[in-house]
Chains A and B, each alone.
Chain A
């Protein structure tokens, strides 16, 4: 079955540290990839998406992600995190049938000031 793996369950960083959250997916065909963020008590919001073209995708709030087809990966990065980045982050991929998204289990990021 298709799946999305997020390697880090909980990441703890200090402000200004760099961030990289891993995401690997199992589907080898044409992929649509997404990163969503859920701030405490809020609903999910789209950070960035990849459909085609430049594999380095820039999103909101200084986040970026790199699609590496050979590694089936779509890792999320930010050069310098802020306390306000404390949230849960979800990677998602379009399913093989093209009908819905499959989400990873999420990574909780805690940033201390």
Chain B
């Protein structure tokens, strides 16, 4: 199993450009997540999808949109990139049960620079 995969690994954008980060998991997990990681800030949740067909905002959703394409895939879109969105983006997935999310499995990350 590949686990959680992300594309691309690296990306440089100019301010105002758009792009979509792709994420896929092969563990048949219901829930998927997008985080950004910035120095000294830890991981901050951007959006999550508790199950196929649902998406919800996390702590820092502004400037982003998501699509849960199917159970396997969860994409993150930057419509008009800004320098403040320079970050490392991680996708994660987990099983979900009535008591809450089980442990999350993370992808390798996408390092995005916006100039």
Contacts and interface: CB of A to CB of B under 8 A. Distances in A.
Interface of B: 33, 35, 40-45, 48, 50, 56, 58, 90, 92, 99-101, 103-109
B42 A90 contact: yes
Interface of A: 9, 30, 32, 34, 36, 42-46, 49, 51, 90, 94-95, 98-106
Contacts of A99: 48, 50, 56, 100-101
A103 B43 contact: yes
B101 A104 contact: no
Contacts, number: 57
A94 B42 contact: no
A42 B108 CA distance: 6
Contacts of B106: 36, 43-45
Contacts of B40: 9, 105
B43 A90 contact: yes
A100 B101 contact: yes
B112 to A, nearest CB: 15
A100 B93 CA distance: 10
A46 B104 CA distance: 8
A103 B105 CA distance: 14
8 contacts: A43-B109, A44-B104, A46-B103, A46-B104, A98-B101, A101-B104, A102-B45, A103-B42
Contact of A94 (B48, B92, B100, B107): B100
A106 B43 CA distance: 8
B41 A105 contact: yes
